[in-house]
Amino acid sequence: MNYLLGIDGGGTKTTCVLASEKGEAVRRVTAGPSNYHKVGLEMARASLSQAIADATWGLSAGDSLLALCAGLAGAGRPAERERLREVFRELVTARQLYVVEDITIALFGGTGGRPGVAVIAGTGSNCMGVNALGDTARAGGWGHLLGDEGSGYWIAQRALRAAIASYDGRGDKSVLETSLVQALQLASLHDLVDRVYAQHPGSRQGMGPDEFAALYPVVVQAAEAGDVVSLRILEEAGRELGSAVLAVARRLRMLEEAFPLACIGGVFQQGARVRDALAATLLPAAPRATLIDPVHPPEMGAVLLALSKLRGQHLHL
C-alpha cells in the first residue's frame, strides 16, 4: 500500500501522522522536540527518527511512502530547510520530500486545504494565507523581540508594564498590580525585577517567552472580572492580529472574496475577547471572511499539503 507521512515539529514535541494515499489518518504518534534552534540538531534528529519509526511501525517491504511533508519550527529560511531535508533523507525513503515552516501546515490544516488565512496566537504569533492561484503571503512571525504582536507573550508583557504603571501611579489603577504578583508567587511587585531579569550567579535565569505567555490567563480572568486595563490589552491584541490578517488578505487580493480565517493557538482558546476584537478589525474591510476553529491539526495540514503537491497544485511557498 501507499502512504503519506505528515509531521508537525516544534520546541516542545513532534507529532507525526501516517495517512493513506487518500489522506485518511491511520496512526498518530508523538515524540520529543524537533526545533533544532532550541534543542540542537542531534536531539531534533533523534525526535524525528523516533516519530517516523513509531508511525511506520509494522509497514511491510511492499508498502511505500509517496511523500513525507514536515512543517517545522525553525525552518524559515532556505538553508535551514535544506539542512533538515538532509536529516530526513538519512531517516526515511520517500518518493517526495517536502520541508516547510510550521505556519504553512497550520494554514493547510486550519482551512482544511482550502484557500484562506490562518492566524496563530500562542506564545508567539504569525499569520499566513493562500489564494486560489496558489499565491501565499505572510505577516508577523518575527519573534518576541521584534514582533509577536497579539501573542500570549505580548499580552503578558503589556500586562506587567500596566501593573507597574498602576503601582507607580503613572497609569490607570488595575488589579493586575496584585494578581500578577500572586501568579508569579512573589512577595511584592518589587521582586518582579529579579524574577524577570535575574542573571547573577546563584540565581535562576530570567523569564523566557513561554513563562511570560503562561501569565495570559491571569489577564483574561482580570478582564472578565471587569478590569478595564486588562480588557484594553486584550482588545489591542485582537486589533494587532486583525491588522496582520488584513495585510495578508490585501496582498493576496482576497478582501472582496469569501475566505475562512482559522484562528489557532491558546490565545483564542481562553475567552472570546481577542477573537471579537480581531473580527471587529477585519470584517469592515473583508466582510465575507468567516472566522473558524481549525478544521484539522497541523500534522494533517502537512498531509493535505503533500496531497496538493502530488496532485500538481502549484503553490508559491
Name the average pLDDT for the chain: 90
The 10s digit of each residue's pLDDT in 85-98 is: 998 999 988 899 99
Length of the chain: 317
Tell me the CATH number for domain 115-294.
3.30.420.40
pLDDT number for residue 311? 84
As a 3-state breakdown, the chain gives helix, strand, coil percent values, each rounded to 5, of 45, 20, 35
pLDDT band at 264 (very low <50, low <70, confident <90, very high): very high
Tens of pLDDT, residues 294-310: 999 999 999 999 998 88
Q: Could you identify the residue written with the cell 493586575?
A: 176
Q: Which of 123-137, 166-180, 198-212, 272-286 has the lowest mean pLDDT?
A: 198-212
In the structure, what pLDDT confidence band is assigned to residue 260 with cuts at 50, 70 and 90?
very high
Strand order in the sheet with 14-20: 25-31, 14-20, 2-9, 64-72, 96-101
pLDDT on residue 111: 94
In the prediction, which pLDDT does 142 show? 84
pTM of the model: 0.87
* Mean pLDDT along residues 31-45: 88
Tell me the pLDDT tens digit for each residue of 181-232. 999 988 888 888 888 887 555 555 678 888 899 999 999 999 999 999 999 9
Name the helix (H) or strand (E) containing 299: helix 298-310
In the chain, domain spans: 2-113+295-310, 115-294
Fold classification of 2-113+295-310 is Nucleotidyltransferase; domain 5 (3.30.420)
What pLDDT does 303 receive?
A: 95
Angle at which helices 273-282 and 228-251 pack, to 10 degrees? Answer: 40
Report helix, strand or coil for 177.
helix
Strand order in the sheet with 125-130: 136-140, 125-130, 116-121, 259-264, 289-292
| Alpha-carbon separation of residue 236 from 109, 159, 199 (angstroms) | 27, 12, 31
Q: Tell me how far apart the alpha carbons of residues 294 and 301 are, in angstroms, rounded to a whole number.
A: 10
pLDDT score, position 206: 73
> What pLDDT score does 201 carry?
52
Are the folds of 2-113+295-310 and 115-294 the same?
yes
Instruction: Kindly state the percentage of the chain with pLDDT values over 90.
Output: 63
Would the pLDDT of 279 be above 90?
A: yes
Q: Is the pLDDT of residue 77 over 90?
A: no
